Amino acid sequence: QELLQHVDRIDGAIGYAELGASRAYPRVRPMSIDDQIPDVGNVTSGSYRFCAREYAYTYQEQPQDGALAAEFLNYLRTDNARSILRRDDLIPSSEVPESLCG
């Protein structure tokens, strides 16, 4: 959020953030690439040729089954979690062309 606050108030600034988060800032505009606007449809079709994959990290060992961290990672793979991601203009990794974010 801090980055978007700066981009919103500094003329000529450029930044990098989730598409959905940028909507809260009236002067922040998403940048088109090859005349394609950044939206869920253009990213999943491969028309908007930029995206970033998020990764989950844990301290030292991978969490064992039943551990809270393991349950959270399992939850991220559910239809419910995917619908929440989509609601916030985030795209589940399985729906992004591998060539864009591989």
State the pLDDT at residue 102.
57
State the pLDDT at residue 78.
95
Q: What is the per-residue pLDDT across 60-91, written as a single tens digit (0 to 9) for each?
A: 888 888 889 899 989 998 999 999 998 888 88
| Of 81 and 44, more confident | 81
Residue 38 CA to its chain's centroid (Å):
11
Integer Cα distance of 7 and 27 in angstroms: 8
Q: What is the mean pLDDT of residues 82-101?
A: 83
Q: Which of 18, 24, 80, 22 is nearest to 53 (CA)?
A: 18
Integer Cα distance of 26 and 65 in angstroms: 44
Question: What residue segments make up the domains of the chain, in order of their start?
Answer: 2-101
CA atoms within 13 A on the CB side of 27: 11
Q: How far is CA 101 from CA 7, 9, 11, 43, 67, in A?
A: 25, 30, 30, 10, 29
Q: Give the model's confidence band at 43: pLDDT under 50 very low, under 70 low, under 90 confident, else very high.
A: confident
State if pTM tops 0.75: no
Say yes or no to pLDDT of 101 above 80. no
